[in-house]
Amino acid sequence: MKKFSLLVAAVAAMVFASCGNKTAANQGNGDSVSFEQSQIEEKIMVELDSIIDQWHKLGPVDGIFANGKIQLSEDEMKVKPNYLLPASIADDMSLLSQKYRAMGMLVVDKKVASLYKMDTDAYTATITKIATDVNDNALQEAANGDMSDAKAFYLAEKEAGRINFFWETSAAGLVETFYILSQNQEKFLQAFDDQTASDMTYHIAVLKLALDDLATYDPNIKGLVDILSPLNELNAISVDQLKEQLEKMRPQIEKARGEMLK
Protein backbone atom coordinates (compact mmCIF):
# COMPACT_ATOMS: atom_id res chain seq x y z
CA MET A 1 0.00 0.00 0.00
CA LYS A 2 1.65 3.22 -1.16
CA LYS A 3 0.42 5.40 1.67
CA PHE A 4 1.71 2.88 4.22
CA SER A 5 5.15 2.85 2.57
CA LEU A 6 5.30 6.64 2.70
CA LEU A 7 4.40 6.56 6.39
CA VAL A 8 7.15 4.04 7.14
CA ALA A 9 9.67 6.26 5.36
CA ALA A 10 8.51 9.35 7.25
CA VAL A 11 8.76 7.62 10.61
CA ALA A 12 12.17 6.13 9.81
CA ALA A 13 13.47 9.61 9.08
CA MET A 14 12.62 10.64 12.63
CA VAL A 15 14.61 7.90 14.35
CA PHE A 16 17.78 9.97 14.35
CA ALA A 17 16.16 12.89 16.17
CA SER A 18 16.86 13.40 19.84
CA CYS A 19 14.22 12.57 22.39
CA GLY A 20 13.92 12.63 26.15
CA ASN A 21 12.45 9.40 27.55
CA LYS A 22 9.99 9.55 30.43
CA THR A 23 10.11 7.36 33.50
CA ALA A 24 7.21 4.96 33.81
CA ALA A 25 4.66 5.66 36.50
CA ASN A 26 3.59 2.89 38.83
CA GLN A 27 0.33 1.78 37.27
CA GLY A 28 -0.52 -0.32 40.25
CA ASN A 29 -2.93 -3.12 39.42
CA GLY A 30 -4.11 -5.81 37.07
CA ASP A 31 -2.36 -6.23 33.75
CA SER A 32 -0.36 -3.00 33.99
CA VAL A 33 2.55 -4.62 35.83
CA SER A 34 3.70 -6.35 32.64
CA PHE A 35 4.51 -3.03 30.97
CA GLU A 36 7.27 -0.61 31.98
CA GLN A 37 7.46 2.46 29.78
CA SER A 38 10.99 3.19 30.97
CA GLN A 39 12.17 0.06 29.13
CA ILE A 40 11.22 1.47 25.72
CA GLU A 41 14.34 2.20 23.70
CA GLU A 42 14.91 5.84 22.85
CA LYS A 43 14.73 5.23 19.11
CA ILE A 44 11.38 3.48 19.52
CA MET A 45 10.02 6.35 21.58
CA VAL A 46 11.12 8.74 18.83
CA GLU A 47 9.20 6.61 16.34
CA LEU A 48 6.10 6.62 18.54
CA ASP A 49 6.27 10.40 18.91
CA SER A 50 6.45 10.68 15.11
CA ILE A 51 3.59 8.23 14.65
CA ILE A 52 1.26 10.21 16.90
CA ASP A 53 1.86 13.27 14.73
CA GLN A 54 0.59 11.29 11.74
CA TRP A 55 -2.37 9.95 13.73
CA HIS A 56 -3.33 13.40 14.97
CA LYS A 57 -3.19 14.92 11.48
CA LEU A 58 -5.80 12.42 10.30
CA GLY A 59 -8.32 13.70 12.83
CA PRO A 60 -10.46 11.69 15.26
CA VAL A 61 -11.51 8.34 13.80
CA ASP A 62 -15.08 8.80 15.00
CA GLY A 63 -15.27 12.44 13.90
CA ILE A 64 -17.70 11.55 11.13
CA PHE A 65 -20.35 10.95 13.78
CA ALA A 66 -20.00 14.40 15.28
CA ASN A 67 -19.12 16.80 12.45
CA GLY A 68 -22.72 17.44 11.40
CA LYS A 69 -22.47 15.70 8.02
CA ILE A 70 -24.74 12.85 9.05
CA GLN A 71 -28.33 14.03 9.22
CA LEU A 72 -31.07 11.65 10.31
CA SER A 73 -34.71 12.13 9.45
CA GLU A 74 -37.44 11.76 12.07
CA ASP A 75 -38.31 8.35 10.65
CA GLU A 76 -34.67 7.23 10.74
CA MET A 77 -34.38 8.29 14.36
CA LYS A 78 -37.28 6.02 15.26
CA VAL A 79 -35.22 2.96 14.29
CA LYS A 80 -32.68 2.96 17.07
CA PRO A 81 -29.36 1.13 16.45
CA ASN A 82 -29.27 -2.29 18.11
CA TYR A 83 -25.55 -2.76 17.52
CA LEU A 84 -24.15 -0.37 20.14
CA LEU A 85 -22.52 -1.67 23.29
CA PRO A 86 -24.62 -1.36 26.44
CA ALA A 87 -23.15 1.05 28.94
CA SER A 88 -23.17 -1.79 31.47
CA ILE A 89 -20.52 -3.65 29.44
CA ALA A 90 -17.80 -2.32 31.76
CA ASP A 91 -19.44 -3.39 35.03
CA ASP A 92 -17.57 -6.67 35.42
CA MET A 93 -14.22 -5.69 33.92
CA SER A 94 -11.20 -6.14 36.16
CA LEU A 95 -8.25 -5.55 33.84
CA LEU A 96 -6.93 -2.11 32.99
CA SER A 97 -6.58 -3.17 29.37
CA GLN A 98 -10.29 -4.01 29.21
CA LYS A 99 -11.28 -0.71 30.79
CA TYR A 100 -9.20 1.44 28.46
CA ARG A 101 -10.50 -0.43 25.43
CA ALA A 102 -14.07 -0.13 26.70
CA MET A 103 -13.56 3.62 27.09
CA GLY A 104 -12.49 3.97 23.47
CA MET A 105 -15.52 2.04 22.27
CA LEU A 106 -18.09 3.69 24.53
CA VAL A 107 -17.00 7.20 23.51
CA VAL A 108 -17.75 6.23 19.90
CA ASP A 109 -21.08 4.62 20.79
CA LYS A 110 -22.12 7.68 22.77
CA LYS A 111 -21.66 9.83 19.66
CA VAL A 112 -23.79 7.49 17.58
CA ALA A 113 -26.45 7.36 20.29
CA SER A 114 -26.52 11.17 20.27
CA LEU A 115 -27.16 11.14 16.52
CA TYR A 116 -30.30 9.13 17.20
CA LYS A 117 -31.26 11.38 20.13
CA MET A 118 -30.99 8.45 22.51
CA ASP A 119 -30.44 9.00 26.23
CA THR A 120 -26.66 9.09 26.72
CA ASP A 121 -26.62 9.56 30.51
CA ALA A 122 -25.68 5.92 31.08
CA TYR A 123 -22.74 6.24 28.70
CA THR A 124 -21.58 9.41 30.44
CA ALA A 125 -21.81 7.75 33.86
CA THR A 126 -19.88 4.67 32.72
CA ILE A 127 -17.18 6.73 31.01
CA THR A 128 -16.71 8.74 34.22
CA LYS A 129 -16.64 5.57 36.31
CA ILE A 130 -14.00 3.93 34.14
CA ALA A 131 -11.74 6.98 34.31
CA THR A 132 -12.14 7.02 38.09
CA ASP A 133 -11.52 3.28 38.42
CA VAL A 134 -8.23 3.43 36.52
CA ASN A 135 -7.18 6.61 38.34
CA ASP A 136 -6.27 8.40 35.14
CA ASN A 137 -6.91 12.12 34.92
CA ALA A 138 -5.68 12.18 31.32
CA LEU A 139 -8.28 9.61 30.33
CA GLN A 140 -11.03 11.60 32.03
CA GLU A 141 -9.97 14.83 30.34
CA ALA A 142 -9.75 13.09 26.98
CA ALA A 143 -13.20 11.57 27.41
CA ASN A 144 -14.67 14.93 28.41
CA GLY A 145 -13.33 16.29 25.13
CA ASP A 146 -14.55 13.24 23.18
CA MET A 147 -10.87 12.32 22.67
CA SER A 148 -10.72 14.68 19.70
CA ASP A 149 -7.26 15.99 20.62
CA ALA A 150 -5.31 12.76 20.18
CA LYS A 151 -1.88 14.31 20.62
CA ALA A 152 -2.74 15.96 23.93
CA PHE A 153 -4.14 12.65 25.17
CA TYR A 154 -1.02 10.80 23.98
CA LEU A 155 1.38 13.26 25.65
CA ALA A 156 -0.55 13.11 28.91
CA GLU A 157 -0.45 9.32 28.94
CA LYS A 158 3.24 9.38 28.05
CA GLU A 159 3.86 11.65 31.01
CA ALA A 160 1.95 9.20 33.23
CA GLY A 161 3.87 6.20 31.93
CA ARG A 162 0.76 4.76 30.26
CA ILE A 163 1.57 5.22 26.60
CA ASN A 164 0.45 1.65 25.93
CA PHE A 165 -3.04 2.43 27.13
CA PHE A 166 -3.32 5.39 24.79
CA TRP A 167 -2.87 3.02 21.87
CA GLU A 168 -5.21 0.40 23.33
CA THR A 169 -7.92 3.03 23.72
CA SER A 170 -7.31 4.36 20.22
CA ALA A 171 -7.31 0.89 18.67
CA ALA A 172 -10.61 0.04 20.33
CA GLY A 173 -12.18 3.28 19.13
CA LEU A 174 -11.02 2.58 15.59
CA VAL A 175 -12.43 -0.95 15.60
CA GLU A 176 -15.74 0.27 16.99
CA THR A 177 -15.95 2.95 14.33
CA PHE A 178 -15.37 0.46 11.52
CA TYR A 179 -17.87 -1.91 13.11
CA ILE A 180 -20.56 0.78 13.23
CA LEU A 181 -19.84 1.84 9.65
CA SER A 182 -20.23 -1.78 8.55
CA GLN A 183 -23.62 -1.99 10.27
CA ASN A 184 -25.16 0.96 8.45
CA GLN A 185 -23.12 1.71 5.35
CA GLU A 186 -25.99 3.16 3.35
CA LYS A 187 -26.48 5.98 5.81
CA PHE A 188 -23.05 6.65 7.26
CA LEU A 189 -20.98 6.45 4.09
CA GLN A 190 -23.13 9.19 2.56
CA ALA A 191 -21.10 11.57 4.72
CA PHE A 192 -17.77 10.38 3.27
CA ASP A 193 -15.77 11.64 0.34
CA ASP A 194 -12.75 9.85 -1.10
CA GLN A 195 -10.32 11.72 1.15
CA THR A 196 -12.32 10.81 4.25
CA ALA A 197 -12.38 7.17 3.20
CA SER A 198 -8.63 7.17 2.56
CA ASP A 199 -7.89 8.86 5.90
CA MET A 200 -10.11 6.37 7.71
CA THR A 201 -8.19 3.34 6.47
CA TYR A 202 -4.85 5.15 6.79
CA HIS A 203 -5.49 5.10 10.54
CA ILE A 204 -4.98 1.34 10.37
CA ALA A 205 -1.52 1.70 8.85
CA VAL A 206 -0.53 4.28 11.46
CA LEU A 207 -1.93 2.15 14.28
CA LYS A 208 -0.05 -0.91 13.02
CA LEU A 209 3.28 0.91 13.22
CA ALA A 210 2.63 1.97 16.83
CA LEU A 211 1.41 -1.43 17.96
CA ASP A 212 4.28 -3.25 16.27
CA ASP A 213 6.71 -1.01 18.14
CA LEU A 214 5.02 -1.62 21.50
CA ALA A 215 4.33 -5.35 21.08
CA THR A 216 7.88 -6.17 22.23
CA TYR A 217 7.26 -4.44 25.54
CA ASP A 218 3.65 -5.36 26.32
CA PRO A 219 1.98 -8.77 25.88
CA ASN A 220 -1.44 -7.09 25.81
CA ILE A 221 -0.34 -5.08 22.79
CA LYS A 222 1.01 -8.22 21.16
CA GLY A 223 -2.41 -9.82 21.59
CA LEU A 224 -4.02 -6.71 20.17
CA VAL A 225 -1.83 -6.97 17.06
CA ASP A 226 -3.13 -10.49 16.52
CA ILE A 227 -6.76 -9.41 16.94
CA LEU A 228 -6.38 -6.58 14.45
CA SER A 229 -4.26 -8.34 11.84
CA PRO A 230 -7.24 -9.17 9.54
CA LEU A 231 -8.11 -5.46 9.38
CA ASN A 232 -4.84 -4.73 7.59
CA GLU A 233 -6.72 -5.58 4.40
CA LEU A 234 -8.78 -2.41 4.82
CA ASN A 235 -6.85 -0.02 2.59
CA ALA A 236 -9.52 1.84 0.63
CA ILE A 237 -8.64 5.13 -1.05
CA SER A 238 -12.18 5.93 -2.19
CA VAL A 239 -15.71 5.68 -0.89
CA ASP A 240 -16.56 2.93 -3.37
CA GLN A 241 -13.57 0.88 -2.25
CA LEU A 242 -14.41 1.42 1.41
CA LYS A 243 -17.98 0.30 0.84
CA GLU A 244 -16.79 -2.83 -0.96
CA GLN A 245 -14.21 -3.66 1.70
CA LEU A 246 -16.58 -3.09 4.62
CA GLU A 247 -19.08 -5.47 3.04
CA LYS A 248 -16.45 -8.10 2.33
CA MET A 249 -14.78 -7.85 5.72
CA ARG A 250 -17.86 -7.44 7.88
CA PRO A 251 -17.35 -10.84 9.60
CA GLN A 252 -13.69 -10.08 10.37
CA ILE A 253 -14.56 -6.64 11.72
CA GLU A 254 -17.31 -8.09 13.90
CA LYS A 255 -14.95 -10.77 15.21
CA ALA A 256 -12.26 -8.23 16.06
CA ARG A 257 -14.81 -6.09 17.83
CA GLY A 258 -16.00 -9.07 19.87
CA GLU A 259 -12.48 -9.94 20.96
CA MET A 260 -11.51 -6.43 22.07
CA LEU A 261 -12.98 -6.71 25.56
CA LYS A 262 -12.12 -10.33 26.37
Query: Which pLDDT belongs to residue 66?
Result: 87
Tell me if 102 sits within 8 A of 261, measured CB to CB.
yes
d(CA 262, CA 242): 28
| 59 CB-near residues (< 8 Å, 6+ apart) | 199
pTM for the model stands at: 0.88
Q: How many other β-carbons are positioned within 10 Å of the β-carbon of residue 21?
A: 15
d(CA 140, CA 119): 20
Query: Which pLDDT belongs to residue 29?
Result: 46
Query: Which pLDDT belongs to residue 20?
Result: 39
Strands (E), the chain: none
- The identity of residue 165, as a single letter, is F
- The identity of residue 7, as a single letter, is L
Query: Which pLDDT belongs to residue 149?
Result: 87
d(CA 231, CA 197): 15
Query: Which pLDDT belongs to residue 144?
Result: 75
d(CA 182, CA 253): 8
Question: Of 119, 136, 121, 122, which Cα lies nearest the Cα of 91?
Answer: 122
Question: Of 252, 27, 17, 56, which Cα lies nearest the Cα of 155?
Answer: 56
Query: Which pLDDT belongs to residue 171?
Result: 97
Q: How many other β-carbons are positioned within 10 Å of the β-carbon of residue 117?
A: 11
Burial classification of residue 197, based on how many CB atoms lie within 10 Å of its CB (0-12 exposed, 13-18 middle, 19 or more buried): buried
- pLDDT string in tens for the chain (262-residue length): 545 444 544 444 444 443 433 333 334 445 544 789 999 999 999 999 999 999 999 988 888 998 889 999 999 999 999 999 999 998 889 999 999 999 999 999 999 999 999 999 999 999 999 999 999 988 888 877 767 789 999 999 999 999 999 999 999 999 999 999 999 999 999 999 999 999 999 999 999 999 999 999 999 999 999 999 999 999 999 999 999 999 999 999 999 999 999 8
Query: Which pLDDT belongs to residue 143?
Result: 77
Helix, strand, coil share of the chain (percent; to 5) = 70, 0, 30
Query: Which pLDDT belongs to residue 146?
Result: 62
Query: Which pLDDT belongs to residue 142?
Result: 80
Question: Of 158, 150, 238, 229, which Cα lies nearest the Cα of 194?
Answer: 238
d(CA 201, CA 38): 31
d(CA 11, CA 162): 21
Q: b/e for 131-141, b at 16 or more Cβ within 10 A?
A: beebebebbbe
